[in-house]
Amino acid sequence: MSTTGTRPTPTSTRTRMKCLARVVGESMAPTYRSSDLLLTRPVGPAGVRARRGDVVVFRHGELRMIKRVVGLPGDLVELEAGRLFVNGDPVDGRSRVPGAYAQTWRVPRASYFMAGDNPAVSDDSRVWDEPFVPVETVETVVSRRLVGPRRPRGFNPRRPTAAAGRVA
């Protein structure tokens, strides 16, 4: 394939393709639940960039994980009484707890600080030995949820049932 003109090369076509990702686990609940199917867009030169608040898919060691970008390069992230603050602003809108112990991180250049939406079960930057995720390990940004968990088939108490013993 030619690399001249407006025709894309195979590499640039791949970087613009949308991808699918399936959620495993409850670390992003209630936003995304286990078995949700997500539509994602690649990051990079031809793709999009991750911004604060975006949910992204990235590599952490041997695992592919899905988390929310909380801290950008240069941000001061604080964990105080289980609540996250970025540059002094609360992530969840709640105020500080006076006298509470605070753990702080300064996000280095070309890195992110990640957090799950369900802190009770999330394995994220708050608990990792190396809390920062290198920018180059971020693969995709979540665009939207396509499919959620299926409802069980069968009896639904709100749905009218056929009369028992009726013969056609």
Q: Which CATH entry fits the domain spanning 16-147: 3.40.50.11890, 3.20.20.10, 2.10.109.10, 3.40.50.1980?
A: 2.10.109.10
Given the residues 12, 18, 67, 95, the one annotated as active site = 67
Side-chain-facing half-sphere of 9: CA atoms under 13 Å: 6
Two tokens, residue 61:
């060691």
* Residue 149 CB partners (closer than 8 Å, separation 6+): 33, 34, 35, 36
Is the pLDDT at 26 greater than 60? The verdict is yes
Given the residues 2, 12, 27, 122, the one annotated as active site = 27
Residue 44 pLDDT:
76
To the query of whether residue 111 is one of the catalytic residues in this protein, the response is: no
pLDDT tens digits, 61-116: 999 999 999 999 999 999 999 899 999 999 988 888 888 899 999 999 999 999 99
Residue 98 pLDDT:
86
Residue 3 binned pLDDT confidence (cut-offs 50, 70, 90): very low
Residue 164 pLDDT:
40
Kindly tell me the burial class for residue 23, based on how many C-beta atoms sit within 10 Å of its own C-beta (0-12, 13-18, 19 or more). Answer: buried
To the query of whether residue 12 is one of the catalytic residues in this protein, the response is: no
* pTM reported for the whole predicted model: 0.76
Residue 39's alpha-carbon distances to 16, 17, 51, 132, 135, in angstroms, are 13, 11, 17, 25, 20
pLDDT tens digits, 135-164: 999 999 999 998 765 555 554 545 444 444
- Domain locations along the chain: 16-147
